[in-house]
Amino acid sequence: QKEVEQNSGPLSVPEGAIASLNCTYSDRGSQSFFWYRQYSGKSPELIMSIYSNGDKEDGRFTAQLNKASQYVSLLIRDSQPSDSATYLCAVAQGGAQKLVFGQGTRLTINP
Amino acid sequence: GAVVSQHPSWVICKSGTSVKIECRSLDFQATTMFWYRQFPKQSLMLMATSNEGSKATYEQGVEKDKFLINHASLTLSTLTVTSAHPEDSSFYICSPHTRTYEQYFGPGTRLTVT
């Protein structure tokens, strides 16, 4: 079992709709969770971090964390073509803050 | 977030040569730098953790004699790929340790070994 799992997609969503990205992790002791966006040929860009159970909203983005289910998700409201990218879920492990990444979900927003 | 630069942004080298990649933390002092690599259509994998003034810590499966890491100062870490081979062609990205758990990445260096 991979430590951090994501559906690789591709996920296609019409412009203006809600895009839902999911991630599960295996280390029950994990405390810090991150969503990164990566455009083709570029390095990842941090868009959300979440540390507590529940929802965290930032603009059009909402991260959801359920530690009991070892599940973290990212919702993108009012999806725009510029949101088309690969979204990486990352989980920090241990005191050294090492990030373990999922394989990424490729999202395409269709105009 | 942290401001990080990398140089060069891309490099093409011949098999058997060495390539040095520089990573600079521009707006704060980084005692620790993480080095990642990303192969095409794959996710990021942590290679090693460099610590200012001490030896780097390498992840399992990463050859420390092939990927030399030097953390010369609190703002500069370098990764040297020695005797590069085509299978070393990848996207190399650094990320400084910050006071929070959030990690910000440099723009990356794309290495192509011919």
- B30 shares contact with chain A (CB less than 8 Å): no
Q: In 3D, which of A98, A77, A111, A110 has the Cα closest to residue A31?
A: A98
Q: Tell me how far apart the terminal alpha carbons of chain A are, to the nearest angstrom.
A: 36
Kindly report, residue by residue over B42-69, the tens digit of the pLDDT.
999 999 998 888 889 999 999 999 999 9
Question: In the prediction, which pLDDT does B24 show?
Answer: 92
Give dist(CA A65, CA B59) in Å, integer: 28
* CB pair distance less than 8 Å for A43 and B93: yes
Q: How confident is the model at residue A79 (pLDDT cuts 50, 70, 90)?
A: very high
Search chain A and give the residue with CA nearest B100.
A97
Q: Does pLDDT of A94 surpass 80?
A: no
B1 to chain A: which residues are within 8 Å by CB?
A: 46
On whether the CB atoms of residues B25 and B4 are closer than 8 A, the answer is yes
The angle at the Cα of B49, spanning B64 to B5, to the nearest 5 degrees, equals: 110
Search chain B and give the residue with CA nearest A99.
B46
HSE-up (13 A, CA, CB side) for residue A49: 13
Task: List the single residue in B44, B93, B101 with the smallest CB-CB distance to A92.
Answer: B101
- B93 shares contact with chain A (CB less than 8 Å): yes
Q: How confident is the model at residue B28 (pLDDT cuts 50, 70, 90)?
A: confident
B48 to chain A: which residues are within 8 Å by CB?
A: none
Give the mean pLDDT of A61-86.
Answer: 97
- B83 shares contact with chain A (CB less than 8 Å): no
Measure Cα distances from A94 to A3, A18, A27, A32, A97 in Å: 14, 33, 10, 10, 6
Higher pLDDT, B98 or A108: A108
Residue A55, amino acid: D
Q: Does pLDDT of B25 surpass 70?
A: yes
Strands B10-13 and B109-113: parallel
Give dist(CA B24, CA B98) in Å, integer: 13
Give the mean pLDDT of A84-104.
Answer: 88
Q: Does pLDDT of A47 surpass 90?
A: yes
